[in-house]
Structure 1
Amino acid sequence: MFAYAEPAELIDAMSSAARAESAAIARRLEAVAALFRSRKCDYAEAGFLHTDVYEAVAAEVSAAQNISRSRAGYQVEMAVSLYTRLPKVAEAFARGDIDLRMVQIVLARTKNVEDDVIGGLDKAIAPKLSRWMRLSKNDLRDRVDLWVADFDPAAVRVPPEAKDNRYFDVTPDVPGMAFAGGLLNARDAAALDQRLEAIAATVCSNDPRSHNNLRADAAGALGRGESTLTCECGAEDCPAAVLRESAAQVVIHILAEQATVDGDGDKAGYLPGFGVLPAEEVRAAAKTAKLKPVRLPGAEPEKGYRPSAGLKDFLQWRDLTCRFPGCDAPVERCDVDHTTRWPFGVTHASGLKHYCRTHHVIKTFLTGVYGWRDEQRRDGTVVLTAPTGHVYTTEPLGGLLFPTLATPTAPLPDVEVPEDDPDKAAMMPRRRTREQERRARIARERRQRIEINAERERQHQAWLAATYEPPPF
């Protein structure tokens, strides 16, 4: 496209594309905000009194954009906040004057501003934002905070304490490997560091691994409840061999074809939460693992509401994740859902699948004209119809990776299902809605800021009193 373009044309194209990108994102968020307003009215009229509108709209956004529930939920919160509290900032965004980075920072720093004040702040800062585009994240944050302090001093965000930011993540990396790391309490980190060093030192000096490799392997031993490593020097009289301790009872599950385990095939396995596992890693794990075949379910439905251990095992490996469009919550955090509600739907693989708790609640309680409908095929494919009539199809991840798990199971009998209880949606179980949680957080943080400001003023007055010298007479 730009093979023969002049530099000036490239600069113009770049600038135009950046503005168009911002305008397109603004239009998407405006549509999300409008959907939220519409659904809020719809659910109120239908009597869905305890429905969390944020979660319900996030489900539609997740399916429409094929994104996760958390990303969809963040998008709904951002869109609603932008178009209800900062319409002037939204206009600048739609014109392409500012980008998404600026919008996110402005939204974050103005979260605690009272509703009766936010309009004036919006009008004051919106014309200035285009000139602030060049500022770094920290400088932009400080600039917005100054304006927030002028309009609503109690609304200036309170920095979280360092201890509240601690975390430890274990996430997949390249096939067969994972990243582990985070921010720990200093004493805990020191203890962990010493523990890794102690375990790494249990091999002899001829072990071929580097010190970093040994520390990484020591982390694995720690996870298994072991206090020593197996030395890889290869010597029969290795002095470290006598130090070897057995592992504690730690269980991980790996899904693989029998041919891979036997060495007759090289199809990768699957480690839940970490993705594909190379064939050689599967065979290495199989040497000391307990092997358990995944059995296909029988033709006859089970009698109880809860599936048997064998059927649940099959369903977990077939699905691997929540079956709602865009949701990747692992089955360990999901409920088994009867596609045709119990007791009319039978307990059988052809009519069972996994939904995370949020999507299970939405499917079960948000019914009728504004609700979701789902149907299930014998190979585990789920077809969902959204309140708007849009249709989304999801296939089981385990069945995609290992086609045997997608073998069609037995057909189910046709049954008559009575209409849902019209009051069921109104009793949708909730702890607190996102709006209630948002207001509680804002109130808590405003109290903290008021206390901080009062203490600063007290210290300032004390300093004035200590340094005051009366005039001579």
Structure 2
Amino acid sequence: MFSFTDPVADDAAVSSAPSASLADAARDMQRQGRQREARMVLLAYRLGLSVSDDFVVNPVRQNGIRDAADKAAVGEVSLQLGVSRSQAGKWLTLGAQLQRMPQLRLAFLEGDFALHRISVISAILGVVDDDLRGVLEPLALGLARRATTDPMLRSQLEKLLIELDPDAAAAARKDFAERNQNVIVRPDAFGHNTVDATVPAEHGVFLRERLAALLALRVCKHDPRTTGQQRVAALAELMGFPAARLTCACGRDGCGRGVDEPAPASGLEPEAASGIVVVVDPDDGRAPHLRGHGAIDPGHAAEIGDAARQIELPAESIVAGAGGGDGPAPPIDPTGHGGFSVPPPGALVYQPSKQLRAQILATDLWCRYPYCGNPSHACEIDHLVKFDHADPNAGGWTVAYNLIPMCTPDHHRKHLGVWIPTMHTDRSITWRNSVTGQQIVTYPR
């Protein structure tokens, strides 16, 4: 399709490509791009290694400079490839890690995964010993092939690590804190600054929930500002910037949230505003789950115990399979009745009970649409088969195997009817494109 030597011709090829072939062509180019990037990174590693080896075998060249070999390697890769020292260092670190992960290295060269996804996997596998890495590597590749975002994959890999070696996970957390915890404020364009912070997970969740609570309290849906602008105004108040107060800017006389002198954000009830919830398995079979973040090690959960609300997995929680067996699990009853012949209590009521909602949230950790990482507790609970308000018995019922968490935008996408979901007995969902027949599978955790 493309010459890769004539940009004018390739531009014309893009413009004239038939609609039916666009997705396949784009995926093909994506794979080729990943394959080339993999080779570039591994060649960069070899380049850095050759420079480093030269300095090691020729001590005179080091001139008494500390870590001269490493500095020379990073500097040469930076200059030869025209990237920052930081980027060059990341490529060299990744290249070194991949030498101990042959399956991951070959998948990278095959173009199966993007550079960032490979980096996520290698960072987790890099903290364990060789024996455990041999166990984790094929499992990690299986998880990486799912329709998940990179943060979701990281959480899944950390969960695996925690459950197999909690001590290694705790040590990795402490090492990461020593190397990366920081708050950086740097100038940005047009009178703005960029604030970049690496903080403990519970601090980040606390801040996000405080911002959300303040917006819900002070701003109505008619406020003309973007959500980002509203959050910035809320953050200024939370930081204690002089005279900073988040107020609704809708300008409507009847707005109940546009009060003249709102109480300071520090007056929010701590329990209502913290939002720190840790879901634990009473049988210690699963890693603790910090809502809004992901898996955390048991020691971490204990450390934040006084600040967090701890809830246990429901004793009768829905069975959720990990997937990856010999084939897909059988599909659930397509009527949306969850396999029941007679509606159980609550099945003909649109809103699920608190107990049923808790079961769904404990089992399905994210929005169930492909490649969405919104946490389930921030999602709507949606009926897979539409609930019939005129005749509840005829439509989809409010039962576990007809309910999934979905964020609002993806809920809207589902109702567009382009991708049709089918749930299976392990709560995996197959999303089928109604036009092409393409299928994407998502899993509850």
Normalising by structure 1, we get a TM-score of 0.36
Between 1 and 2, higher relative CO (CA 8 Å, sep ≥ 6) is seen in 1
Structure whose CA Rg is larger: 1
Higher normalized helix content (fraction of residues): 1
